Amino acid sequence: MITAIGFGALIGVLLGLLGGGGSILAVPALVYGADLPVAAAVPTSLLVVGISSATALIPRLRGGLVRWRIAGIVGGTGAAAAFAGAAVNRLLDPRLILIGFAALMVAAGWRMLRGTDDSGGDCALPGGGINWRGCLPKSIAAGLAVGFLTGLFGVGGGFLIIPALVLGLGLSMPAAIATSLVIIVVNSAAGFAAHTGDATIDYRIAAAFTLAAITGSLAAGRLANRLPTQKLQRAFAWLVFAIAAFVAVQAILNPTPA
């Protein structure tokens, strides 16, 4: 329980600082820190990530950074795809899910090490408008991909959403972080609904984990503009690599309860 609470706080801090990424740790923390089976860890992770992301979003609502129409398109298509991901999740062996999750963590860490530049994209025009001819297809594609992974692995997908919003759609980093939090909340709610009934959720563990994440996100949200984001991303990427290796080894060597 103490380990799970510590991971919950870390996830909240990363959501508050980076707008995403921390949720990739939620499932391993719940499986290996709180001893939950994979079937229960996935919906619990989505519950925690959704609530903590909503909390991290609150300080960013005042600045007008959220691109609501883009968030609606990406989040809406992602919500539908989350049900497909949850359906595939039910067909797979829990150990296979964890191995796939470890591979996803490696991809996320690699993306964080590469960094994200404020360049490119079809959605942000010089005058402040949106080129929907180029933006709409990319928004739908991003929503489908992230939503499916949300339902399959129980992740918020911020590590995928932010690069998609910046590199693919042309949003600035502050706008991408704020918009990604809205999308994560929508996807997490859909994924949680899709997994309802898969396993009994221990709401005592979920509440402790969520409270720790909320506390971390609120504390970190006040420091977000004062700390070097790129250095934080790189340090977190190496932590993700280490945990991915641990998850893969455990999944291969030790059977995991369904």
Q: What is the pLDDT of residues 1-38, one digit of tens each?
A: 677 778 788 777 776 776 666 667 788 888 888 888 88
Count of Cβ atoms closer than 10 Å to residue 243 Cβ: 19
pLDDT of residue 130: 65
CA atoms within 13 A on the CB side of 60: 31
pLDDT of residue 83: 92
Are the beta carbons of 85 and 198 closer than 8 angstroms? no
Q: What is the DSSP letter of 19?
A: S
Q: What is the pLDDT of residues 92-117, one digit of tens each?
A: 888 888 898 888 888 877 877 776 55
Q: What percent of the chain is modeled with pLDDT above 70?
A: 83
Give the relative orientation of helices 132-153 and 68-91 as an angle to the nearest 10 degrees.
30
pLDDT of residue 220: 75
What are the sequence ranges of the domains in the chain?
A: 2-253
pLDDT of residue 142: 87
Are the beta carbons of 29 and 235 closer than 8 angstroms? no
Q: What is the pLDDT of residues 156-209, one digit of tens each?
A: 677 778 777 877 787 877 888 888 889 989 988 998 998 887 778 888 888 888
CA distance 147 to 156: 8
How many angstroms separate the Cα of 240 from the Cα of each of 24, 75, 127, 157?
8, 25, 39, 14
pLDDT of residue 117: 53
